[in-house]
Amino acid sequence: MKSDFANDYYLFLLSKISGLSSRVIIALLQKFGSPKKLYQQVLANPQILDNKISRFIQDKNFVLATKKSFETLAENYITIVDPLYPQNLKNIYDPPLFLFYRGNINLLKNKYLITVVGSRITTDYHRNIVKNIFRQLQNTPLIIVSGLAVGIDTFSHRQALDNNLPTIAVLGSGLSKYVLYPQENIDLAQEIINKGGLLISEQSARTKTQLYHFPKRNRILAGLSKATVVISGAQKSGTLITAQVAIDEGREVLALPGNVNLRLSQGPNKLIKEGAGIIDSAEDIFRIYNIDKHIKTTKIVFKNKHHAKIYSLLQTESINLVDLATRLNMPLAKINILISEMEVRGIIKLNNLNQLEII
């Protein structure tokens, strides 16, 4: 979408000036009306901006190089002055002036965007919770926003697709298949587009990906949505940066509580201690978005008293087979039979620590 080449170019030029923030540019646009008019005013009256900044606009080499760079942009984009630019994002402290995109750009105008973030390392606990919540989100207008990173981001996009929920991936790299990061998610990125989703980034395809792009990307993740759900993360992580942006912008934050001894629970637990809401089911999301949907809970009926006893023990903690046999005072062979029967029913499983847990 390139509706106004001249104004888009002048906005692009302004965005490339070192030391000129998007916040200042937006304030000046409100005063002068359009990027082209702002550029003309600065040319005529350099004192409008700091002298160092004004020199960029007066530097013909800089202007020509920027114009050449702009003319080579091959991808779709919207700008902050475009009607499709999301109001939630426009309201953050330092909104991106350009959003490059592939897919269904109209998703950005939806009021039901919800951001889900978490650690690169995932556990059975976190995956099971995400899977259960996303299953409960079926047949709602919610749109899942995440960062396409390895770990919880990838799992969230996948669960959104599996549950017929539109999803938006916010990248720290450009969107071209040659620069998209992480490369292992190229197929997932294409599937998101094929199923009506959206990829966005403030980096053009020709921009070399830098490490600092990713923490910058986190402000977009938080800025797009009314609420951010934090699944997992250490106390110092990109996940917590995203959550802090959401808090600073007055957005809702929901965090998944976890074992206080585990590093990946430290971030969410800290957020809860500081006032974030707790999430344990989709109903916490429905409350924020005023969605009228009630989750039906199915009571598990046990005809076998040993099954009931095992389930009761696992409701308190995950247990390995040997400890379970000891607690029930049963031979391991009999425990194995009981466990197999319960696994077939789909109510318990063996986790990656070789412990039994409830699904």
- CATH number of the domain that residue 114 is part of: 3.40.50.450
Q: What is the pLDDT of residue 3?
A: 54
Are 281 and 190 in the same domain?
yes
Are 242 and 334 in the same domain?
no
Q: What is the pLDDT of residue 182?
A: 95
CA 97 – CA 202 distance, rounded (Å): 8
Question: Distance of alpha carbon 351 from its chain centroid, rounded?
Answer: 26
Are 332 and 256 in the same domain?
no
Q: What is the pLDDT of residue 209?
A: 87
Are 232 and 335 in the same domain?
no
- For 181, phi and psi rounded to 5 degrees? -130, 135
Residue 96 has pLDDT above 60, yes or no: yes
- For residue range 211-251, list pLDDT tens digits in order: 889 999 999 999 999 999 999 999 888 899 999 999 999 99
Are 136 and 274 in the same domain?
yes
**Domain ranges, residue 264:** 103-289
Inside any domain, residue 92? no
Cα–Cα nearest to 201, from 186, 219, 185, 226: 219
- For residue range 136-193, list pLDDT tens digits in order: 999 999 999 999 999 999 999 999 999 999 999 999 999 998 999 999 999 999 999 9
Are 189 and 149 in the same domain?
yes
CA 169 – CA 357 distance, rounded (Å): 32
Q: What is the pLDDT of residue 297?
A: 67
Are 156 and 266 in the same domain?
yes
Are 145 and 36 in the same domain?
no
Task: Among 229, 263, 289, identify where a domain stops.
Answer: 289
Bridge-based pairing of strands 348-350 and 356-358 is antiparallel
Q: What is the pLDDT of residue 87?
A: 95
- For residue range 309-352, list pLDDT tens digits in order: 999 999 888 899 999 999 999 999 999 999 999 999 888 888 87
Question: Which pair of structure tokens corresponds to residue 210?
Answer: 């830098």
Inside any domain, residue 96? no
> What H or E segment, with its residue span, contains residue 154?
helix 152-162
Inside any domain, residue 209? yes
Residue 199's identity, in one-letter code, is L
In which band, very low, low, confident or very high, does the pLDDT at 293 lie, cut at 50, 70 and 90?
confident
Inside any domain, residue 91? no
Inside any domain, residue 281? yes
Cα distances (angstroms) measured from residue 174 to each of 48, 178, 221, 309:
33, 9, 16, 53
CA 179 – CA 119 distance, rounded (Å): 22
Number of H helices, E strands in the chain: 16, 11
Cα–Cα nearest to 36, from 77, 76, 81, 78: 81
Residue 76, burial from CB neighbour count under 10 angstroms (0-12, 13-18, 19+): middle
Inside any domain, residue 228? yes
In which band, very low, low, confident or very high, does the pLDDT at 289 lie, cut at 50, 70 and 90?
very high
- CATH number of the domain that residue 330 is part of: 1.10.10.10
CA atoms within 13 A on the CB side of 109: 8
Residue 4 has pLDDT above 80, yes or no: no
Residue 17 has pLDDT above 90, yes or no: no
Are 204 and 139 in the same domain?
yes
Q: Among residues of the chain, what percentage have pLDDT more than 90?
A: 66
Place of tokens 């490339």: 16
- As a dihedral over the C-alpha atoms of residue 266, residue 271, residue 276, residue 280, rounded to 10 degrees, the angle is -10
Cα–Cα nearest to 116, from 169, 164, 189, 163: 169
In which band, very low, low, confident or very high, does the pLDDT at 54 lie, cut at 50, 70 and 90?
confident
**Count of domains for the chain:** 3
Task: Among 72, 94, 123, identify where a domain stops.
Answer: 72
Contact by Cβ (8 Å): 18, 59:
no
Inside any domain, residue 232? yes
Contact by Cβ (8 Å): 148, 154:
yes
Are 109 and 68 in the same domain?
no
In which band, very low, low, confident or very high, does the pLDDT at 2 lie, cut at 50, 70 and 90?
low
Are 285 and 309 in the same domain?
no
Are 48 and 155 in the same domain?
no
The DSSP-derived string for 69-125 is: HHHT--SEEEETTSTTS-HHHHTSSS--SEEEEEE-GGGGG-TTEEEEE--SS--HH
Q: What is the mean pLDDT of the chain?
A: 92
Residue 246, burial from CB neighbour count under 10 angstroms (0-12, 13-18, 19+): buried
Inside any domain, residue 202? yes
